[in-house]
């Protein structure tokens, strides 16, 4: 499927009156840009999830110029802590009666290897496992909301792995493979999860209740080169080399509020998504459905990733409040 849409969020986002959105990583960078435009177009409620309370307060203050911030519900979430993430997910599942869009935008960038308190590579936990858990907890709300959207913020980095992961074990995930490969692996994982989840719709008996040709419309997006704090993570990882690299490319990077959030906003709000529909795809600037890497098309790899994700979440949390597909 091909689409090549010039999408200006200032003019092309429809009126969002009555609609409810949840955005992770919403307190800065691309996530803040996404939140600004959602608020600007009159969403009913915007749940802005971020890591630090002070950043949430700063974002809330900054959003005053885009709309009525009484509609903004800031929530602190620590994606490096599965139990805290689970607590936030349960809170949202109880509080919400509808969910028009869930934008999983939070993420660690190109950075050094660390493990979380849960004993998992921090890149995989933050960018993939924790946000998958949030999506599964909120999936019933997406299923009951007409024309709902699930958006995963991936990247062209999904093509840049020098060696292919098998996604077979935690031991494999917990190896320091280098700053850029750690990040690239998570971007590939996000595309794989989107494609696998969309594929479940073809099975009318899938445990998640997904139905072919029906919302939620599930897509991955690439924002383009955007100025965010992720460049500072790259400098930390690569030192002088990283600093020189960032300095070289920064003049070509987009502003996160003006342009960097367009692909995600198109996936979360664009009328074409539901009317065509555009589902299970990878959307790049300017809102064009693009082909993905060979690895991202590997159905067995996607299945192993889904199984590993469910296995780890079940092991670390003890039990899950949603049906698992492979475990």
Residues marked active site are found at 183, 187
Which pair of structure tokens corresponds to residue 73? 């519900």
SS3 content of the chain, % helix, strand, coil (to 5): 50, 15, 40
CB atoms within 10 A of CB 286: 15
- In terms of Cα–Cα distance, which of 86, 85, 76 is closest to 49? 76
Which pair of structure tokens corresponds to residue 306? 């889904």
Instruction: Name residues whose C-beta falls within 8 Å of residue 134's C-beta, 6 or more positions apart in sequence.
Output: 24, 85, 88, 89, 92, 102, 104
| Cα 9 to Cα 40: distance, rounded to the nearest angstrom | 10
In the DSSP assignment, the letter for residue 228 is: S
| Cα 16 to Cα 41: distance, rounded to the nearest angstrom | 6
3-state class of 47 per DSSP? strand
Contact 153, 187 (CB under 8 A): no
| Cα 197 to Cα 109: distance, rounded to the nearest angstrom | 24
- In terms of Cα–Cα distance, which of 171, 189, 169, 191 is closest to 181? 189
Which pair of structure tokens corresponds to residue 116? 């979380």
- In terms of Cα–Cα distance, which of 5, 99, 94, 88 is closest to 49? 88
Q: Report the DSSP beta bridge partners of residue 72.
A: 46
3-state class of 45 per DSSP? strand
3-state class of 131 per DSSP? helix
């Amino acid at each position: 499927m091909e689409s090549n849409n010039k999408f200006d969020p200032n003019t092309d986002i429809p009126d969002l009156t009555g609609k409810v959105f949840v955005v992770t990583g919403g307190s800065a960078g691309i996530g803040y840009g996404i939140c600004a435009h959602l608020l600007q177009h009159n969403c009913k409620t915007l749940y802005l999830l971020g890591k630090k309370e002070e950043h949430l307060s700063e974002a809330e203050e900054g959003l005053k110029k885009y709309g009525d911030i009484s509609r903004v519900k800031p929530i602190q979430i620590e994606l490096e802590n599965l139990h805290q993430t689970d607590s936030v997910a349960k809170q949202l599942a109880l509080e919400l009666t509808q969910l028009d869009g869930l934008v999983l935008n939070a993420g660690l960038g190109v950075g050094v290897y660390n493990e979380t308190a849960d004993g998992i590579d921090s890149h995989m936990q933050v960018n993939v496992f924790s946000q998958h858990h949030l999506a599964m907890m909120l999936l019933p709300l997406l299923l009951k909301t007409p024309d709902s959207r699930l958006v995963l913020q991936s990247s062209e980095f999904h093509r840049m792995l020098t060696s292919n992961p098998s996604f077979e074990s935690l031991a494999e995930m917990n190896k320091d493979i280098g700053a850029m490969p750690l990040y690239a692996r998570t971007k590939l994982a996000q595309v794989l999860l989107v494609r696998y989840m969309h594929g479940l719709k073809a099975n009318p008996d899938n445990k998640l209740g997904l139905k072919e040709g029906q919302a939620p419309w599930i897509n991955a997006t690439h924002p383009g080169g955007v100025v965010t704090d992720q460049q500072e993570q790259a400098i930390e990882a690569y030192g002088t080399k990283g600093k020189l690299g960032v300095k070289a490319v920064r003049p070509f990077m987009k502003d996160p509020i003006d342009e960097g959030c367009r692909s995600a906003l198109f996936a979360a709000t664009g009328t074409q998504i539901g009317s065509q529909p555009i589902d299970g795809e990878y959307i790049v600037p300017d809102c064009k459905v693009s082909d993905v890497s060979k690895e991202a098309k590997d159905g067995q790899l996607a299945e192993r990733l889904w199984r590993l994700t469910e296995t780890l979440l079940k092991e670390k949390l003890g039990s899950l409040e949603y049906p698992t597909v492979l475990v």
